[in-house]
Amino acid sequence: MPEGHVSHRNAGLWQERLTGHVVREARSRDPRALALGIPGRLEGDAVTGAEARGKHHLMRFASGRVLHTHLRMTGVWRLVPAGRPVRSTGLTLMLRFDHATAVLYSCQGIRLLEPGEPLPPGIRALGPDLLHQATDPAGDTVAALRAIDPGREVGEAVMDQRVVAGIGNVYKSETLFLAGVDPWRPVGSLTDAEAAAIGTIACDLLHRGVAEPGSITTYDPPGRVWGRPRGEKWVYRRAREQCRRCGTPVRSRGQGDDNRTTYWCPTCQT
């Protein structure tokens, strides 16, 4: 499921390939997008830029309108070269340009902001975006974790986009493993060095995710020197398998109000 690296990768692609291009045709099969008149309002408009804020996508148009999408658990954006077939099953929005078609599937979080309309509260409330170049991943993460209720569990807090933006369920488990931090500890028990390491490691993993399309890869098996990454991870979805560092069985349990599964090594993470 999409974490912060996906929105930043998509926005970078749009910025590079769609800026200056006009929407020749817009279509939707999504009742909500149709009721809001989104396709009709986009036809004939030109893309002027794109950006990601945490897991939110913003596509800006010459009219001043802004297409805001959030992929949540199921959504996916594709950029298809002109002339290639576009699957219509599950189509939320299709924007056809002369040279390419941008297609959004299975997305519940779509809206089109009129010129001057403020960004939704969910974006305005975001914490520092670990993939934004103005963010200091170490310092800003320390400050963000110091500013919240010290009794919150680390594994729950780092996924709260209002604290820091970009980390989803996979990066949560992988970051805390690499930082050596037990996800069940209270935030108030973290040293500055531990909080800084969480920010720095998550930032590095997210950047790798932007650069490498496909399944998130955080672990490189020793000895492999060629070929594409295969989506291997340190602990995520490895419950009861041996820890790659110490051999202890990896544990898993739901965490936070949303009961998202956290994976951790009880020996390496303290």
Bridge partners, residue 103, by sequence: 78, 94
Compute CA distances 153 → 90, 118, 170, 188, 204, whole Å. 37, 33, 17, 9, 22
Given candidates 126, 159, 187, 268, which one binds Zn ion under the rule CB under 5 A? Answer: 268
3-state secondary structure of 22: strand
List binders of Zn ion among 85-144 (CB under 5 A): none
CB closer to Zn ion out of 90 and 180? 180
CB closer to Zn ion out of 96 and 244? 244
CB closer to Zn ion out of 127 and 183? 183
Site size for Zn ion (CB under 5 A): 7
181 binds Zn ion (CB under 5 A): no
3-state secondary structure of 139: helix
The residue number whose beta carbon is nearest to Zn ion equals 243
Compute CA distances 166 → 158, 180, 202, 231, 250, whole Å. 9, 20, 9, 19, 24
User: Among all chains, which residue has been given the structure tokens 């340009």?
Assistant: 97
- State in angstroms the smallest separation of the CB of 180 from Zn ion: 9
Compute CA distances 62 → 20, 59, 112, 201, 207, whole Å. 9, 10, 13, 38, 30
Size of the chain in residues: 270
Using CB under 5 A as the criterion, what x/- string covers residues 198-237 for binding Zn ion? Answer: ----------------------------------------
Compute CA distances 157 → 52, 127, 139, 204, whole Å. 21, 11, 16, 19
- State in angstroms the smallest separation of the CB of 267 from Zn ion: 4
CB closer to Zn ion out of 29 and 245? 245
CB closer to Zn ion out of 14 and 234? 234
- State in angstroms the smallest separation of the CB of 6 from Zn ion: 29
List binders of Zn ion among 234-263 (CB under 5 A): 243, 245-246, 248
The span from the CA of 265 to the CA of 94, in Å, is 43
CB closer to Zn ion out of 100 and 265? 265
CB closer to Zn ion out of 189 and 267? 267
267 binds Zn ion (CB under 5 A): yes
- State in angstroms the smallest separation of the CB of 249 from Zn ion: 9
From 87, 92, 39, 95, select the one nearest 69 (Cα to Cα): 92
Site for Zn ion, rule CB under 5 A: 243, 245-246, 248, 265, 267-268
